[in-house]
Amino acid sequence: MKKKLLIAALSTAMLCGSVQVSASSNFFADVPADDWSYTAVNELIATGHVSDYTEQIPAGRIMSRLEMAMIVEAAQRNLSAFTSQEQAVIARLGKEYYYDVKKLQLLSKLDSLDEKTLEQSGEDFTPEEKSKIKTLADKFSVGGYVRLRNDHYLKDSGRSTRANMIHVQVDSTYKINDDWEAHLDMGYRNSLSGFDKLKY
């Protein structure tokens, strides 16, 4: 889940472009090495009550506000397990990373919505249809490549040959049975310049 949230955060920042630059930049900014947050979260992790965090932050490890907010949010979700003094520390951290935690929660909701949408889309297929789709996927494969080629050289004939080529190849294979396969290969090749031009 943590990895998914980080990917979603990066995707959100890229998709939103210049509109979100000022708002998202602090989310990924480094927390200064001498910031009090490192000691605070390490003390919380040491209690064993911060879900998914069993190792303390190593000395010298610089974390982003995003990473720090993930620890704070995990502690907030298990608040009752901490002492009143520890809860006060969590409250202070929560105030420091308030908006960062809010962004995490929003990303989590979006992530859950995406998973729910995928699950719902799968309900449109019966088990028999799913089996047929899997069978087709196992039998059918597509591959290919795109090449750009540029050659400039002199031939012994005294001509200068130039080739600025583009080559697109798409190869498909259908497995009929264990002994036979059907192939359909399509290619496109064209020159962006002339060939065999006279040397001046």
Contact 78, 51 (CB under 8 A): yes
pLDDT at 26: 72
Q: What is the pLDDT of residues 43-57, one digit of tens each?
A: 999 999 998 899 999
Cα–Cα distance, 186 to 125 (Å, whole number) = 32
pLDDT at 15: 39
Whole-angstrom CA distances from 91 to 19, 26, 66, 76, 118 are 31, 20, 17, 8, 36
Instruction: For residue 180, name the pLDDT band (cuts at 50, 70, 90).
Output: confident
State both tokens at 59: 């000395």
Instruction: For residue 71, name the pLDDT band (cuts at 50, 70, 90).
Output: very high
For the chain, give every domain's residue range: 2-122, 139-195
The answer to whether residue 22 scores a pLDDT higher than 70 is no
Q: What is the pLDDT of residues 150-162, one digit of tens each?
A: 655 555 665 555 5
The pTM of the full predicted model, rounded to 2 decimals, is 0.48
- 165 has which bridge partners? 149, 191
